[in-house]
Amino acid sequence: MHHKKKIGLLTFHRALNYGAVLQCWALKRACEALGCEVETIDYNPFGHYEAKWAIGRRPYVAYKYLLQLYRFGKFVDKWLNPTIHTESHEWIKQNPPKDDIYIVGSDQVWANDVVGELLDSYLLDFAPKYARRIAYAASTAGNPLKLTEYQADELRKFAAISMREKQSVPDIQSHVEITVEDVCDPTMLLIERDYFDIERKPLCLPKHYVAYFNLTGDSFCKESAKFIGRTLGLPVVSVVGKFNIWAKRNYPAPTPEQWLYILHHADYVCTNSFHGVALSIVFRRPFVYCEAQVKKHSNRIGRIQNILEQTKQNNRYATDMEDVRIILNNRDMLYDEEAIEQYRNRSLKWLKNAIDNETK
C-alpha cells in the first residue's frame, strides 16, 4: 500500500489575524489535495495570547479581543489539525513532530524585524535529519535576510525554497545552491469553490454592500469606503477595527469563517490588507487597495505591488481619492483570467515538485 506523506506546517497560525490563519488552512488544503496527510505544528515561540491582556482596557477593545481569542482558537482546533502546543524551542527540539516533510510558510516567517531571535525556529532547525525541509511562499517583508553562521547552515539544509515576493528571490538565492523561485500566497492556490466548505454567513448581513477591511486604521481607507458606498448607493459593512457609527453593520470580531463570507459576497471591497486583496482576486470581487498611510506599515507596499503585478491588477492600487474615483468609474474593469491561472498553476506545480522531491 502506498505510504501517504506526512507534512508538518509551521507558520504564524496563532496570530489573531484573518489572513494568517486562512493562508495556513489554504496551504494545508492544497497539500491534502496532493495526497498528503497534513498537521499544523502548534509551536508558537512568541508566547500565548492571554485573556488577562483585556484587564483594564476599554470595554469595546476588551470585548473584541476576548471574542477573537476564543474564535481564533476554535478555528485552529477545528480546521488546522494542530499538534501538541508548545512555546519552548528546547522542548520541540527534543520532541519534534514525526513528519516526513516540514514546510515553513507562508507569511513573514523570514523577516528579521518580525521573528528576531526566533529565526532559528523558522529555519526549522528542530527538524530531524531524515525530514525534508521546504519553504513555501516565505517572506522577508522586502528586507535582506540577515543570518548568523549557524542560521546560514540551517538555510542550506532546505531541499526547496520559494518566496512570496519576486523581489526577495535574488537575496535568498545568494545564500543557497538550490534554485529559489517566487510563488503565490497559499490562499491563491485554491479556487473559489474550495472556500465554500468553511465560510459561514454572519447574522444581519445586507444582501448588497461594500466590505470595508481597514487593517491599519488609516483615514484614507475609511474615507474611500464612505465614498465607494455613496457612489454605488450601497451600505458599508465594517469588519474588524474601530466601531464605525457611519457603517451600516459593524462586525468587530467575526469568526475567520464569517470574515471570509463577508469578503466573498461583497459587491465591492475597500481594503489596505494583503490578504483582503489576495482573496478578492480569488473570489473575483471588484476592489480598491488603499495605500497604507502609516509609516510602520510601508513594508506592505512591496508585497501588494508584487501580487497586483503578477495578476495584472495594478490599476486597482490607490494612493489618493482621485485614484479611487478613477477605479470606481472604470466599472467594466475585468480580471485577467490567464494571468491569475498561470500564477496559480505555476505555484501548484512548484509545491507538487517540492513535495515529490523533484525540485532542482
33/27 Cα distance (integer angstroms): 10
**Is the predicted pLDDT of residue 288 greater than 90, yes or no?**
yes
77/56 Cα distance (integer angstroms): 29
Q: Which has the higher per-residue pLDDT, 218 or 189? A: 189
pLDDT on residue 251 = 95
Residue 231: Cβ-neighbour burial (10 angstroms; 0-12, 13-18, 19+) = middle
pLDDT on residue 240 = 81
pLDDT on residue 297 = 52
Percent of the chain with pLDDT over 90: 84
The answer for residues whose C-beta is within 8 angstroms of residue 207's C-beta and 6 or more apart is: none
Convert the chain into a string of H (helix), E (strand) and C (coil): CCCCCEEEEECCCCCCCHHHHHHHHHHHHHHHHCCCEEEECCECCCCCCCHHHHCCCCHHHHHHHHHHHHHHHHHHHHHCCECCCECCHHHHHHCCCCCCEEEECCECCCCHHHHHHHHHHHCCCCCCCCCEEEEEEECCCCCCCCCCHHHHHHHCCCCEEEECCHHHHHHHHCCCCCCEEECCCHHHHCCHHHHHHCCCCCCCCCCCCEEEECCCCCHHHHHHHHHHHHHHCCCEEEECCCCCCCCCEEECCCCHHHHHHHHHCCCEEEECCHHHHHHHHHCCCCEEEECCCCHHHCCHHHHHHHHHHHHCCHHHEECCHHHHHHHHHCCCCCCCHHHHHHHHHHHHHHHHHHHCCCCC
**For the segment 93-141, what is each residue's pLDDT rounded down to a tens digit?**
999 999 999 999 899 999 999 999 999 999 999 999 999 999 999 999 8
User: Could you give the domains of the chain?
Assistant: 6-191+342-355 (3.40.50), 194-338 (3.40.50.2000)
**For the segment 73-105, what is each residue's pLDDT rounded down to a tens digit?**
999 999 999 999 999 999 999 999 999 999 998
| Average pLDDT across the chain, whole number | 93
CB 9 within 8 A of CB 24: yes
Lowest mean pLDDT among 71-80, 108-117, 176-185, 287-296: 287-296
Cα R_g (the chain), whole angstroms: 20
CB 277 within 8 A of CB 304: yes
CB 270 within 8 A of CB 230: no
Q: Which has the higher per-residue pLDDT, 332 or 291? A: 291
Q: Which has the higher per-residue pLDDT, 331 or 318? A: 318
Residue 14 CB coordination number (10 Å): 24
pLDDT band, residue 51 (cuts 50/70/90): confident
